[in-house]
Structure 1
Amino acid sequence: MNHKLLTTRLDEQLVRGAVELETTQYGVLPHRLPAWARAQTNDGQLAMAEAQPSGVRLAFRTAATEIELDVLPTKVAYAGAPAMPDGLYDLLVDGRLTAQASAPGGNVLTIDLATGSADLTPGSPTTVTFAELPEGDKNVEIWLPHRERTELVALRTNAPVEPQPDHGRKIWLHHGSSISHGSNADSPTATWPALAAARGNVELVNLGFGGGALLDPFTARTMRDLPADLISVKIGINLVNSDLMRQRAFGPAVHGFLDTIRDGHPDTPLLVVSAIYCPIHEDTPGPGAPDFRDGKVSFRATGDPTEPGKLTLTYIREALAEITAIRAKTDPNLGYLDGRDLYGEADFAVHPLPDQLHPDSATHRLIADRFASHPFLTTQPA
């Protein structure tokens, strides 16, 4: 490779899908929640998830055929479980997946799911390399690994880089759980929101947080303040498997979350989406718990279905349908989508959830195809 490369500053002009860039010892760290919101919670799970750059990508125009990206990844390992493969960096040229690479080394955060403890083993920055790219001017996107916190250290190319021009695409702002975050998808452009965004030709801002779709007021305020032409919120599974609230609190919390979004986006198309089919929590409440039998991580529901007031997916879907129907009487731009229309009981028989909770890449594609065919993405005026 030619090492006489140009270095380009990494900033908001080149980084898309992030809410904020934090300056660090090594470079910049993309965040999907702003600093003021992060300061309002001490939840380590959410802190980890929002700094994992699902949907975050570098976007620029260049004639470069050689690209080097220095990064400091933080990889997650689970005590007692097999090591996870390194995350992938997806490089797109003019919208087409052209190359993939991973970043060896970096930090390792080891989490004990049984106790909730976490231990960080520090590492060093490393380089992701892409070579022999097509000649000529082109739009390049590098999507960052959706499950690896990634500090961006330096970008080097063998031709100048400039920000991509405005393509006039609508901004789709989405919030959801680990399934929206990307769960078991093979790569960052294989998550269902990324696939649906590509199908719908929209700019994705993905606020899908593993374990973090909990109707937090600071998340609603973040969405209120971000630019958006389309907004969707996927509600249900984390409220059940965290056993966070009871039925009495659920309805007012949903109304409050939607009210806050509407404070900043009174007329923007807003779609409320309930959970996809998940047998362990359809009628059994949380908390959910990890299961390490057979050397694999799986999940089970541990709640008591007879305990009054507990949340289940069946209850939440019925409540969300009722809430959105009431609100839609005065909010014509509000819609509801039953998550089982994206992935239902019949789909589970063909594409079971490998760990009883998260879909695999094939199921992400199935969900994306169905979501992209929904009027939310297909019938919006230009």
Structure 2
Amino acid sequence: MITASLVPDLVLGAVEIEPTERGLRPHRLPRHVRERDADPQLTLMEAQPSGVRLRFVTSATVAALELHTTRVAYRGFARPRGAVDVVIDGVPAGSHGLSGGDALELDLQTGATTLASGALDIVEVSLPATGEKTVELWLPHNEQVDIVSLRADAPVRPAPSTDPVWLHHGSSISHGSNAATPTGIWPVVAARRAGVQLQNLGFGGSALVDPFLARVMRDTPADLISVKLGINVVNLDGMRLRTFVPTVHGFLDTVRDGHPETPLLLVSPIFCGIHENTPGPGAVDPVAGAAGETRFIATGTPGDTAAGRLTLEVIRGALESVVAARSDDPHLHYLDGLDLYGPEDAEDLPLPDDLHPGPEAHALIGARFADRILRPGGPLRPQEA
């Protein structure tokens, strides 16, 4: 077996690659943001390589990826493990569940954490004996990863993509919460269906209209941009309507400083029954927790919006008004999140924890986004009509 040189060009979807004692750690935020702006929640989330993949060309018949993962575990709750998905010449070729790695165990009641060490994972992949092929190894969307080595029985070389780059920012739903595999999260479903390169800035609990995230988007090369805002602002109870609207305008202004004419889409929240008409903050349901289940609740008072408290219904109206007020920007578009997943969809495919879509709903959302937004001639690709 030949050990490949882990050059940065092998890795797509990461902003930076950090050398560590074990290997290379992909990051989705640059170092200066991690060191100055990121809180502990965002620090955990950005190091989970949602949408990040190794992409290479090889004539090998066997490849082996050695990883060391670190996952967040909640004491008393079972959480699904991450996986590495294999795609060969654009066709899915299996998903490999992880079993090793470290576990950072969090007590949701006290906030205390403990670290349990684990072994390396080796993902061995059989490849067709058909000459050269393009191989993608999609890293787990829900566990931090150190890439220790990539080995194969023939040389590998990077295979940079020439597809348009789609830069997307969103919450845990965009990060991939409750999706089963890394290619099953809705942004990856959409990107693969539409033939674009995903740069995923979806961060669990962290789509809070932060100025530093706007600056990251401003400075990141992209052909298409989307921003999905609302659910985290509501379930953190982080703003009132008076502050939310100008903050969104400021966020868009900053993105436009770096991308003055790039197609830009503002997306409002998908349906989430607990927060449609009830402000946050959100919380883990203690009754479900006592039974070992993870479910979420809204702790605000239903209908309490008179003082500017935010619900998803209020957020949708506010975001639509923001886009209307910026009618002088012909490249800015609005998408109602209910068009991706609405109350009727919640009847058929309910949110398993009352907050995040399950695997089938991720697939539905991704397909709808691709077909309505990312298609050639659509809002983000008008020049390809």
Q: How far apart, in 2, do the equivalents of 1:206 and 1:134 lie?
A: 33
Q: Cα distance 1:375–1:148, how it changes in 2: closer, same or farther (>3 A)?
A: closer
Indicate which of 295, 298, 308 corresponds to 1:298: 295
Q: How far apart, in 1, do the equivalents of 2:141 and 2:128 lie?
A: 23
CA RMSD of aligned residues (A): 1.4
Is residue 215–residue 255 contact of structure 2 (8 Å, CA) maintained in 1? Answer: yes
Is residue 37–residue 212 contact of structure 2 (8 Å, CA) maintained in 1? Answer: no
Give the CA deviation at 1:218. 1.2
What are the residue-to-residue correspondences of 1:173-322 with 2, within 5 Å?
173-291=167-285, 292-305=289-302, 306=304, 308-322=307-321
Is residue 93–residue 141 contact of structure 1 (8 Å, CA) maintained in 2? Answer: yes
Q: How far apart, in 2, do the equivalents of 1:153 and 1:27 lie?
A: 4
Q: How far apart, in 1, do the equivalents of 2:348 and 2:35 lie?
A: 43
Task: State the TM-score, normalized to the length of structure 1.
Answer: 0.95
Q: How far apart, in 2, do the equivalents of 1:314 and 1:44 lie?
A: 29
Q: Cα distance 1:128–1:375, how it changes in 2: closer, same or farther (>3 A)?
A: closer
Give the CA deviation at 1:45. 1.2
Give the CA deviation at 1:134. 4.1
In the TM superposition, what whole-angstrom CA distance separates every residue of 1:41-97 from its partner, at most 9, and x where no partner exists? 352111111100000000000011111111110122111212x23211001100111
Is residue 64–residue 135 contact of structure 1 (8 Å, CA) maintained in 2? Answer: no
Question: What stretches of structure 1 of length at least 5 have no aligned partner?
Answer: none
Q: How far apart, in 1, do the equivalents of 2:163 and 2:178 lie?
A: 28
Q: How far apart, in 2, do the equivalents of 1:152 and 1:367 lie?
A: 30
Is residue 68–residue 146 contact of structure 2 (8 Å, CA) maintained in 1? Answer: yes
Identity of aligned residues (%): 53
Which position in structure 2 is the counterpart of 1:7? 3
Is residue 171–residue 205 contact of structure 2 (8 Å, CA) maintained in 1? Answer: yes
Q: How far apart, in 1, do the equivalents of 2:102 and 2:130 lie?
A: 35
Which position in structure 2 is the counterpart of 1:74? 70
Give the CA deviation at 1:202. 0.3
Task: State the TM-score, normalized to the length of structure 2.
Answer: 0.94
Q: Mean Cα displacement is larger for which, 241-250 or 110-119?
A: 110-119
Q: How far apart, in 2, do the equivalents of 1:351 and 1:102 lie?
A: 25
What amino acid does structure 2 have at the position aligned with 1:357?
Answer: L
What amino acid does structure 2 have at the position aligned with 1:366?
Answer: L
Q: Mean Cα displacement is larger for which, 306-315 or 258-267?
A: 306-315
Q: Cα distance 1:375–1:289, how it changes in 2: closer, same or farther (>3 A)?
A: closer
Give the CA deviation at 1:120. 2.0
1:365 matched to 2:359: no
Q: How far apart, in 2, do the equivalents of 1:268 and 1:132 lie?
A: 38
What amino acid does structure 2 have at the position aligned with 1:71?
Answer: L
Which position in structure 1 is the counterpart of 2:96? 101
Question: What stretches of structure 2 of length at least 5 have no aligned partner?
Answer: none
What amino acid does structure 2 have at the position aligned with 1:353?
Answer: L
SS in 2 for 1:295: coil
In the TM superposition, what whole-angstrom CA distance separates every residue of 1:253-310 from its partner, at most 9, and x where no partner exists? 1011101100000000000000000010011111110121432100000023436221
1:378 matched to 2:376: yes
Q: How far apart, in 2, do the equivalents of 1:228 and 1:301 lie?
A: 36
Is residue 49–residue 142 contact of structure 2 (8 Å, CA) maintained in 1? Answer: yes
What amino acid does structure 2 have at the position aligned with 1:215?
Answer: V
SS in 1 for 2:322: helix
Q: How far apart, in 1, do the equivalents of 2:338 and 2:232 lie?
A: 16
